[in-house]
């Protein structure tokens, strides 16, 4: 289906994607938005481009602009693909049977190539052969729709980005109190690993799960009394604690009362 392809964007996804396509015996031309590191920029893109597919491994806010710029240069049957979780399929200005979103709900690093045989790949397309080809690219490819993809993308933000942000907030808390963050790493790794087995709230132990109000009250007081804590740390603690309390059928913590100075 695809013998020759162009990958535009040589970032964390674009480079390993180009490598993966080459491993599938596809001739790949690599492009950047600008000339860099031996990769040609789009200023060199010809007026008539040969190729069976163009993969746009670009930041979300660049995809539509670049796709529209390339539209007139593509061969009549060329496939256009982007890889963003939150960008609509219809920003790709070609017929339905020539376009797809192939989005891996995964974070990519520069130090290690992804395992494409284990990588999940959400695919939105109206063209069945494109989905079947995506399964060759990533055997764990699965179908998404215009409705389900943004929902899954939000889930990815909640489960990935915000999990990391919460760990970062805990690091800030420990640093503010001159405590070593490394000592909690085994606990965090074990807790996350156990949560990922399924029914995460059932795996939570600690004072909220057993409704230890004395300890919970001490925590609320401690978090509310220190100005060195990250912003809204006490409120985030309350909301997450109440999630655990509610799951186990216990009364929730009351809203935090704003403190006022004496007059």
Mean pLDDT over residues 25-41, rounded? 92
Mean pLDDT over residues 200-213, rounded? 96
User: 160-247 sits in which CATH class?
Assistant: mainly alpha
CATH topology of domain 4-146: Rossmann fold (3.40.50)
Give me the pLDDT at residue 38, please.
Answer: 83
Whether pLDDT at 180 is above 50: yes
Return the percentage of the chain with pLDDT > 90, whole number: 84
Q: Treating both helix axes as pointing N-terminal to C-terminal, what angle do 213-225 and 233-247 enclose, rounded to 10 degrees?
A: 160
Which range is least confidently modeled, 156-165, 182-191, 201-210, 253-262?
253-262
DSSP string computed for 78-104: -EEEE--SSS-GGGS-S-GGGEEEEE-
For the chain, the structural domain boundaries read: 4-146, 160-247
Task: Name the pTM for this structure.
Answer: 0.89
Residue among 134, 142, 139 nearest 1 (CA): 134
């Amino acid at each position: 289906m695809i013998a020759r392809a162009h990958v535009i964007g040589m970032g964390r996804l674009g480079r390993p994607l180009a490598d993966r396509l080459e491993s599938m015996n596809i001739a790949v031309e690599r492009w950047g938005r600008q000339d860099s590191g031996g990769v040609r920029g789009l200023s060199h893109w010809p007026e008539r481009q040969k190729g069976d597919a163009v993969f746009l491994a670009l930041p979300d806010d660049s995809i539509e602009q670049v796709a529209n710029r390339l539209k007139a240069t593509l061969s009549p049957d060329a496939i256009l693909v982007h890889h963003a979780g939150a960008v609509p399929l219809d920003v790709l200005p070609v017929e339905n049977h020539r376009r797809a979103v192939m989005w891996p709900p995964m974070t990519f690093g520069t130090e290690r190539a992804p395992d494409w045989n284990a990588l999940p790949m959400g695919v939105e397309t109206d063209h069945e052969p494109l989905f079947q080809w995506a399964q060759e690219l990533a055997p764990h490819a699965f179908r998404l729709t215009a409705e389900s993809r943004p929902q899954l993308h939000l889930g990815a933000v909640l489960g990935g980005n915000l999990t990391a942000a919460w760990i970062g907030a805990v690091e800030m808390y420990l640093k503010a109190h001159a405590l070593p963050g490394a000592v909690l790493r085994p606990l965090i790794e074990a807790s996350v690993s156990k949560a990922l087995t399924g029914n995460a709230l059932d795996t939570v132990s600690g004072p909220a799960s057993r409704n230890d109000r004395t300890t919970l009250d001490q925590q609320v007081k401690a978090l509310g009394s220190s100005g060195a804590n990250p912003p809204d740390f006490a409120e985030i603690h309350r909301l997450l604690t109440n999630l655990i309390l509610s799951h186990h059928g216990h009364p929730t913590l009351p809203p935090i009362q704003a403190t006022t100075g004496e007059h």
